[in-house]
Amino acid sequence: MAEAISLTRHILQQQRLHAQATGEFSAIMAQIALAGKMIARDLSHAGLIDILGSTGEVNVQGEEVQKLDQKANETFVKVFEYSPVVKTLISEEMEEPVTIAHAERTGKYALFFDPLDGSSNIDVNAPLGSIFSIHRLDEREVSTPQAALLKRGSEQVAAGYLLYGASTVLVYTCGDGVHQFTLDPGIGEFLLSATKLQMPARGKIYSTNEGNRQKWLEPVQRFVNYLQETDAATGRPYSSRYTGCLVADVHRILLKGGLYLYPGEVKKPEGKLRLMYEAAPLSFVVEQAGGLGSTGVERINTIQPKAPHQRVPLVIGSRDDVTLLEQFMKGAV
Ligand code: AHM
Ligand code: MG
C-alpha cells in the first residue's frame, strides 16, 4: 500500500537534504503534477466528449496531431503560463520554443516535454504518457538563444514521466535515485509508492516494433534473433511486449528489467524518437535505477544536441541487455 507521503512533502524533504536546493525546483514539480492530474482527468472523459480523433493538422515532426495531443500541450502551457521560474517551454507539439513572459527576468529553467506520448493509443483507450526534462539555463556565452537550450542529457536537473494507465503514476529523478508516486483520484494527490527504484541488471523482456524488422541494420536483426533463441542458461527466449507507448514500455522495463529498442533504420539512421524530450529524460531515469540509455553506439546523455527536435536511435533498459546490443553493433558478437 502507498505510504501517506505526498509528492509535495517528499520534494520538500528532498530539498532539506540538499543545502543548495531552492524552492524553485519544488514549484516546477508541483506544476508538472498539476498538469498530469488535468491530463489524466481529460483522458478519463475522452470517450464521452468530442475530443478523440485528429485535428487535421500536422506537427513539427510531420505527424498527424490528435485533438488530445493538442489539449495536453495546451494544459502544460497553461499551467506554466504564470510560473516565474520556468522561462522556456520546448514541446514535441510546438515548432519553436516558447518564452514565458511572466518569467522573462526571473526564470532560470527550461522545460522540455512530450505532452502526450503514444498518440496512436488515444482512440483505443490504451496507455499514454507525458515525459519531462528540466534544464537550468546558464549565462554562458552562446551565439543564438537556441544554443543555450542545446544541453547534454547529463546536464539535466531533473526528469521523469507520467503514465496514464490503469492508475496514473508519476516517476521522477533529480539525480538522487528514482521515486514513484501513484495518483489517489479520491483526494487528488500523488502518494509515494516506491523510492530509490533499482532495476534488474538483466531482464527477460524486449519491447520493439517488430514490424520494422526488415528495415533495421543487420546487427539489430541478429540481436533480436539471438533473444528469440532457446537457451536455458541465458534465460532465452525473451518475451516480447510492446504497447506502442514508450512511457508504458519503459515503465515495465524499469520495474521488471529487459530492454526497449527503437533502432535506426537503413533508410532512416536517426530513428524515430526525439532526443531532448523522449530519449534523454528516460535515460536519466533508467540510469539512476542502474540501467543504461544508448543509441547502440554511444550513451544518449553524452550526445551534444544540434536541434531541439533532433531524433535519435534508442536502446534503453537493463545494463547487461543494453551492453549486449552494443556488442552486436560493434561486431563483437
Ligand atoms: P509520439 O510521441 O508521437 O506518440 O511517438 C512516440 C511513440 C512511442 O511512444 C512509441 O514507442 C513509438 O512512438 C511507437 O511508434 P511505432 O508506431 O512506429 O511503433
Ligand atoms: Mg512521444
- Residue 64 is predicted with a pLDDT of 79
- Residue 137 is predicted with a pLDDT of 87
CA 12 to chain CA centroid, nearest Å = 23
**In angstroms, what is the span from residue 119 Cα to ligand 2's centroid?**
7
Q: Is the peptide bond before 185 cis (omega within 30 degrees of 0)?
A: no
> What are the grid coordinates assigned to 327, written together?
556488442
Separation of alpha carbons 22 and 78, rounded Å: 23
**In angstroms, what is the span from residue 116 Cα to ligand 2's centroid?**
6
Q: Model's pTM, two decimal places?
A: 0.95
- Residue 65 is predicted with a pLDDT of 80
Separation of alpha carbons 90 and 69, rounded Å: 14
3-class SS of residue 286: helix
The arrangement of secondary structure in 7-194, i.e. its CATH architecture, is 2-Layer Sandwich (3.30)
pLDDT in tens, the chain (333 residues): 656 899 999 988 887 777 666 788 889 999 999 999 999 999 998 777 777 778 888 877 777 788 899 999 999 999 999 888 999 999 999 999 998 888 877 888 999 999 999 999 988 999 999 999 999 987 665 556 677 789 999 999 999 999 999 999 999 999 999 999 999 999 999 999 999 999 999 999 999 999 999 999 999 999 999 999 999 999 999 999 999 999 999 999 999 999 999 999 999 999 999 999 999 999 999 999 999 999 999 999 999 999 999 999 999 999 999 999 999 999 888
**Relative to the CA of 249, which ligand 1 atom is closest?**
11
**Relative to the CA of 242, which ligand 1 atom is closest?**
11
**Relative to the CA of 61, which ligand 1 atom is closest?**
3
The arrangement of secondary structure in 205-330, i.e. its CATH architecture, is 3-Layer(aba) Sandwich (3.40)
Separation of alpha carbons 179 and 158, rounded Å: 12
Separation of alpha carbons 249 and 113, rounded Å: 18
Nearest to residue 156, comparing CAs of 139, 132, 177? 132
Nearest to residue 239, comparing CAs of 251, 225, 252, 228? 228
Instruction: Return the ligand number nearest the Cα of 65.
Output: 1
- Residue 148 is predicted with a pLDDT of 78
The H or E element containing residue 319 is helix 319-330
Ligand 1 pocket, CB under 6 A: 63, 92, 114, 117-120, 209, 244-246, 272
> What are the grid coordinates assigned to 311, written together?
531524433
How many Cβ atoms from other residues are within 10 Å of residue 73's Cβ? 23
H helices of 60-152, where? 67-80
**In angstroms, what is the span from residue 244 Cα to ligand 1's centroid?**
6
List Cα–Cα distances, 191 to 31, 58, 266, in angstroms: 16, 37, 44
- Residue 156 is predicted with a pLDDT of 96
- Residue 87 is predicted with a pLDDT of 92
How many Cβ atoms from other residues are within 10 Å of residue 287's Cβ? 22
Q: Which of 246, 252, 260 to mutate to test the pocket of ligand 1 (most atoms within 8 A of CB)?
A: 246
Contact indicator for 279, 234 with CB cutoff of 8 Å: no
Sequence spans of domains, the chain: 7-194, 205-330
> What are the grid coordinates assigned to 138, written together?
546558464
Contact indicator for 118, 248 with CB cutoff of 8 Å: yes
Rg, Å, the chain Cα set = 19
